[in-house]
Chain A
């Protein structure tokens, strides 16, 4: 039983990271119908930014909660700008073109960030500064929960609630929903689609940067290729939840984290990556639009 609870904690805290990244995928997909392959690499840049900011501002040597918040907010801002830039340079001109062409520029941007990262940051892993000292929050029997695990879950939750507030309660959020519902209709209603798209990329990239910063804190080893696998897994999580759907991305991310953890724990860690995909395929065969996906009626 102890082992089960421990795995549950491991899986939830790991799944929260996936959920944050998956939200960015889902947001972009919702408005642009684009699998933004570069998203995982934005998450990497977020972690790198946090690393450099922490060192520049001196928080790397003096752990404090305030330092963590400042570093995370600055990294989120930097990545929001990066997201807006990527949209402007690589995607905006292609919006009226076949969707596949945007996909290829997304792949190009992804490769650019990875290979560029290997040159700029160096290919070797970096030790992410311990902005908050890790200690066990509670210990019951052999179950351990660290303060970092708790922090990751709490901060992710707060960010998700914040995002939901922006999307549901603000004017820009309403515009965002309108664009994701119907691109052309939104434009006709006088919504500045370009602005909404920029905002979407900024929000999604900021969430990825938050995920990157927290991963650095939780698993303090960052390198230029760290976005590759989480990127794919988070994308799978977004599809699992029904791509374009916000709560779906969160549930999908948590499910992905829990699945990976429990497969490693109770089946076999050798098949972990395969089982995650088997479950995904199984879900999609029963519900072809994911768990919470909108069933679109096909018009002739």
Chain B
């Protein structure tokens, strides 16, 4: 009996202790919130983005911070769950009283958390959520990446016009809104340009076995296969396609951008084309500077697309704070909305009237284990 009392009392005390934990006031620093999937199913996106954000933060503070103050980033984990994203952002906004929020990668979590920022009038800048609906939540919600329609249709145009492919197969990550979104716009554009989709197959995030789908695709004899997923699965897909003797050209989106793609895919990813935010071959100082700093900070690691976008999102936010000249939410929002030709790593970013980032898209080709620039397409 007594032990029960002890445990219940301890629990009650723990609850109270949590309720009393102090709010953090804004002193001689500016607090920006970041939320992401540091644990859970897509922990790799959260941690990559976080690395990019921290790198940008270091650069900002080394240069003296903004508005004469140092910037501090408070990072909260959402365990890769939409409902946890809501809690994380509420904590950032209401308890840490951040002036702005950076995140998330997955559109499902950005969509869940965006209403919190919108109703609290705190600007939110998603680093990599490509679903068009995210910024439609309200005028405080922005993104640092391009949206599904642009990327999906660009690849379709490139494949039909430049590669002269006619018969396409699509292999979609059915659990992932990003992949489903790209598929939809790729399919529409291919049909519009007179191409043909001969077979559509799907898989689920986390799968490692794709041979059943690939065998079916092989039987349909396509010229090219569009695989709009994340490198975590795509490299294996390429590998298994190679093992089955599939010779069709593989096409992908920015989810392919990771050093792991060539590491896991090996010679199977040779000749893959994918759309991306930037090319490491670009001689723009932003790109080269970023690559150098990133490798220095993270033991020679090559950044993936998420790290680049995390870096750009944090830098854009600092730029907006600087131009706003204030930490007032509405003024930061107006400054973000006025972002024009911002020299990001992922290109010159201009925020359009729908609060989406307008920037050029590049097509890369994998050759000899490296990503080579093929062409750049303006929006």
Residues in chain A within 8 A of chain B (CB atoms): 3, 6-7, 10-11, 14, 115, 118, 122-125, 127, 134, 136, 139, 142, 144, 146, 215, 219-221, 223, 225-226, 228-229, 260-262, 264-265, 269-270, 272-273
- Residue contact A123 to B43, C-beta cutoff 8 Å: yes
B216: which of A115, A220, A221, A264 is its contact (CB, 8 Å)? A264
- Residue contact A7 to B212, C-beta cutoff 8 Å: yes
Known pairs A7-B215, A125-B44, A270-B202 / 12 extra A-B pairs, C-beta < 8 Å: A3-B219, A124-B44, A124-B48, A134-B243, A139-B245, A142-B218, A219-B236, A260-B209, A261-B211, A264-B212, A269-B213, A273-B204
B171: min CB distance to chain A, Å: 9
Bound CA–CA A136/B240 (angstroms): 12
Total residue contacts A-B, CB cutoff 8 A: 93
* B180-228 with Cβ < 8 A to chain A: 201-204, 206-209, 211-213, 215-216, 218-219
* Sample of 7 A–B contacts (CB below 8 Å): A3-B216, A7-B212, A10-B211, A14-B211, A219-B236, A225-B41, A270-B174
B263 at the interface (CB under 8 A from A): yes
On whether A260 and B212 interact (CB within 8 A), knowing A6-B244, A127-B264, A270-B202, the answer reads yes
B235 at the interface (CB under 8 A from A): yes
B87 at the interface (CB under 8 A from A): no
- Residue contact A220 to B264, C-beta cutoff 8 Å: yes
B232 at the interface (CB under 8 A from A): yes
A245: min CB distance to chain B, Å: 25
Residues in chain B within 8 A of chain A (CB atoms): 39, 41, 43-44, 46-48, 174, 201-204, 206-209, 211-213, 215-216, 218-219, 232-233, 235-236, 239-240, 243-245, 260, 263-264
Which residue of chain A lies nearest to B258 when distances are taken between CB atoms in the complex?
A124
The B interface is mostly helix, strand or loop, or mixed, namely: helix
The interface residues of chain A lying within 8 Å CB-to-CB of B47 are 122-124
A11: which of B207, B212, B218 is its contact (CB, 8 Å)? B212
Which residue of chain B lies nearest to A273 when distances are taken between CB atoms in the complex?
B204
A80: min CB distance to chain B, Å: 24
The interface residues of chain B lying within 8 Å CB-to-CB of A124 are 44, 47-48, 232, 260
B232: which of A136, A223, A270 is its contact (CB, 8 Å)? A223
B36: min CB distance to chain A, Å: 11
A102: min CB distance to chain B, Å: 20
Which residue of chain B lies nearest to A139 when distances are taken between CB atoms in the complex?
B245
A3: min CB distance to chain B, Å: 5
Bound CA–CA A142/B207 (angstroms): 25
On whether A221 and B232 interact (CB within 8 A), knowing A6-B244, A142-B245, the answer reads yes
The interface residues of chain A lying within 8 Å CB-to-CB of B204 are 272-273
- Residue contact B201 to A264, C-beta cutoff 8 Å: yes
Bound CA–CA A142/B213 (angstroms): 15
A220: min CB distance to chain B, Å: 6
On whether A14 and B244 interact (CB within 8 A), knowing A264-B201, A265-B215, A269-B201, the answer reads no
The interface residues of chain B lying within 8 Å CB-to-CB of A229 are 206-207
The A interface is mostly helix, strand or loop, or mixed, namely: helix
Closest 8 interchain pairs by CB?
A123-B43, A264-B212, A10-B211, A219-B208, A124-B44, A261-B212, A127-B263, A127-B264
A134: min CB distance to chain B, Å: 7
The interface residues of chain A lying within 8 Å CB-to-CB of B211 are 10, 14, 261
Which residue of chain B lies nearest to A122 when distances are taken between CB atoms in the complex?
B47
B257: min CB distance to chain A, Å: 13
- Residue contact A215 to B212, C-beta cutoff 8 Å: no
The interface residues of chain A lying within 8 Å CB-to-CB of B216 are 3, 264-265
- Residue contact B260 to A125, C-beta cutoff 8 Å: yes
The interface residues of chain A lying within 8 Å CB-to-CB of B264 are 125, 127, 220-221
On whether A269 and B203 interact (CB within 8 A), knowing A6-B244, A115-B39, the answer reads yes
Bound CA–CA A142/B247 (angstroms): 12
A214: min CB distance to chain B, Å: 12
A122: min CB distance to chain B, Å: 8
A109: min CB distance to chain B, Å: 17
B378: min CB distance to chain A, Å: 32
B233: min CB distance to chain A, Å: 8
B255: min CB distance to chain A, Å: 13
